[in-house]
């Protein structure tokens, strides 16, 4: 049984699976735990549009989150979930979020922007290399990277820009 790798090559392997099985595939995480992966929008739509009573939340999967997250929108079910969802839906309407897309893109671009103090990448000598490529080069090949700090800074940067209209340059 092959194991999915936690590297860039592992992501490329998943991309190959998506290309080969355009609608979905079944992965066996263990001999008793199958994971159905759906890729195509037409395959996903019936699952995502199903009511909560038809597609209930898995107690085993969500149960370990309850001590940390409580019984909010993610973990609640039934009437409580419907009530919370009705309250939140207007705030996240697509028309409201459209005005923030440029901020999301800008913050993401900053995260991916090459770091100015690092030497240039051999394939693009005119541009400095990103901190991720520099870490891989220093290690002599692909490396695992804890993305928590990078994604936390991305989240902080985006929230400060959207909520407070403040650019703290925290990612730079």
| Phi, psi angle pair for 36, to nearest 5° | -90, 120
d(CA 168, CA 153): 11
Domain boundaries, the chain: 1-49, 56-92, 97-164
> What count of Cα atoms within 13 Å lies in the side-chain half-sphere of residue 80?
8
Name the percent of the chain lying above pLDDT 90. Answer: 12
Q: How is the chain split among helix, strand and coil, in percent rounded to 5? A: 50, 10, 35
Which alpha helices (DSSP H) does 31-147 contain, by range? 41-49, 59-63, 66-69, 78-88, 94-98, 101-112, 131-139
Identify the pLDDT of residue 129: 59
Q: Which of 49-53, 66-70, 161-165 has the lowest mean pLDDT?
A: 49-53
> pLDDT digits over 102-125, tens only?
999 888 888 877 666 655 555 545
Say yes or no to pLDDT of 54 above 70.
no
Q: Find out whether 23 and 45 touch, Cβ atoms under 8 Å.
A: no
As given in the structure block, the two tokens for residue 163 are 């909520």
> pLDDT digits over 132-163, tens only?
677 777 778 777 777 888 889 999 999 999 99
Identify the pLDDT of residue 1: 45
Residue 10 three-state SS: helix
**What CA–CA distances, in Å, run from 6 to 3, 11, 13, 109, 145?**
9, 8, 11, 24, 10
């Amino acid at each position: 049984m092959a194991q999915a790798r936690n590297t860039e090559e592992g992501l490329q392997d998943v991309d190959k699976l998506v290309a080969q099985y355009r609608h979905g595939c079944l992965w066996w995480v263990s001999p008793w735990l199958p994971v159905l992966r759906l890729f195509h929008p037409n395959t996903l739509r019936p699952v995502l549009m199903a009511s909560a009573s038809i597609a209930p939340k898995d107690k085993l999967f969500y149960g370990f989150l309850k001590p940390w997250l409580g019984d909010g929108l993610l973990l609640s079910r039934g009437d409580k979930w419907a009530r919370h969802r009705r309250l939140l839906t207007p705030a996240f309407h697509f028309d409201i979020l459209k005005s923030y897309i440029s901020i999301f893109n800008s913050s993401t671009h900053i995260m991916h922007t090459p770091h100015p103090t690092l030497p240039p990448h051999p394939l693009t000598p005119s541009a400095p290399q990103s901190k991720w490529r520099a870490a891989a080069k220093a290690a002599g090949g692909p490396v695992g990277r804890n993305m928590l700090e990078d994604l936390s800074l991305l989240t902080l940067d985006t929230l400060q820009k959207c909520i407070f209209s403040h650019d703290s340059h925290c990612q730079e």
